[in-house]
Amino acid sequence: MDKLNIQEKKVWDILENIMDPEIPVLSILDLGIVRKVEVEETSQMPPELNIKVFITPTYTGCPAMDFIESNIRQVLTENGFNNIEVIHVLSPAWTTDWMSDAGKQKLKAYGIAPPKLTQQVCLATTFSDEDDVECPQCHSHNTQLISRFGSTPCKALYKCNHCHEPFDYFKCH
């Protein structure tokens, strides 16, 4: 591994510890928000490191993005990196397929039903079948959609007909 690769690995390790502000059990890597890290040396002497972090929003209007950006800057600065650029990219569009398996497990343990393994994308057809979602508390599949829009853009509201607990479902996207 050359010097730059080592630095890049270090940046990834740091990012692993930055949590999503709304779902604090998931890191921004678990969510698949960080798409790329580039580490370059400047031409001046002695050379300095330029860090570029490419992030993508989960939802277009996600208000957490500005917060995540400033978090990335702050934590990397604390770790001795100076020239940090955080670049927002829209394409390719984020999908729940990018959420890590570890992330899905952590979500479930936290009480939020993770997105289904097989991607079930929302269709415009009315009153169509809803995703069959397992209750994160009692694991019953006898659950019911309350609202397709939940406490954050990425979640829907469900209730369990078995244990009667309401829960959030991180919807497929």
Positions that interact with other proteins (CB under 8 A)? 57, 59-63, 90-94, 121-127, 146-151, 153, 157, 173
Nearer Cβ to other proteins (45/127):
127
Phi, psi (5° rounding) for residue 159? -135, 150
On whether the CB atoms of residues 58 and 173 are closer than 8 A, the answer is yes
Is-contact 144 119, C-beta < 8 A? no
Give the shortest CB-165-to-other proteins separation in angstroms. 16
Q: Which long-range contacts (CB under 8 A, 24 or more apart) does 142-146 make?
A: 143/167
Would you tell me the crossing angle of helices 3-15 and 64-78 to the nearest 10 degrees?
A: 130
Kindly give, in sequence order, each residue whose CB lies less than 8 Å from that of residue 124, ignoring residues fewer than 6 positions away: none
CB of 23 vs other proteins, minimal distance in Å: 16
Nearer to other proteins, 43 or 126 (CB): 126
Q: Which is nearer to other proteins, 13 or 66 (CB)?
A: 66
Residue 46 or 127: the one with the smaller Cβ distance to other proteins is: 127
Min. distance of Cβ 9 from other proteins in angstroms? Answer: 29
CB atoms within 10 A of CB 136: 21
- To the nearest whole angstrom, how small is the minimum distance from the Cβ of residue 155 to other proteins? 10
